[in-house]
């Protein structure tokens, strides 16, 4: 059901500093910041040959990333994202197996302009997991 690893997301306290570190110290190609108000974050993507790293900064006080950084002020791994060919079929299969989809259970448009869903971390070995339809 799951395809390739799309990205690993890191919550960071300062997006500009984090993007610059990836750009200068690691020599990575880094996208411009992309505000995603519907998700409460601003994101940049670090492009790698085989996947991406998504750097996330809170966009507003109610951001889930703000809550994450309150517990982890230096930042850290927030979630992993796997590709699926049919997000609704994947959701239905997961729900039937007892997994919980966060939010209202309906896909939302993610940073890449494609439908995404998040699975409760308790149902995936303590890891917040995003599915993205490709």
Q: Number of helices (H) and strands (E) in the chain: give both, helices first.
A: 3, 9
DSSP SS3 for 16: helix
User: Which member of 54, 57, 130, 133 is catalytic?
Assistant: 130
Compute the Cα dihedral for 53, 94, 100, 110 and give only its sign. Answer: positive
Q: Is 130 a catalytic residue?
A: yes
Burial status of residue 29 (CB atoms within 10 A of its CB: 0-12, 13-18, 19 or more):
exposed
- Residues identified as active-site: 130
């Amino acid at each position: 059901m799951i395809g390739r690893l799309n990205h690993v997301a890191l919550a960071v306290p300062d997006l500009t500093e984090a993007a610059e570190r990836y750009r200068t110290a690691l020599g990575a190609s880094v996208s411009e910041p992309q505000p995603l108000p519907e998700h409460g974050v601003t994101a940049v993507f670090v492009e790698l040959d085989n996947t991406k790293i998504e750097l996330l900064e809170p966009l507003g006080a109610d951001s889930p990333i703000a809550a994450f950084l309150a517990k982890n002020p230096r930042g850290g791994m927030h979630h992993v994202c796997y590709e699926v060919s049919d997000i609704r079929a994947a959701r239905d299969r997961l729900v039937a197996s007892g997994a919980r989809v966060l939010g209202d259970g309906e896909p939302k448009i993610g940073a890449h302009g494609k439908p995404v869903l998040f699975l409760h971390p308790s149902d995936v070995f303590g890891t917040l997991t995003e599915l993205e339809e490709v």
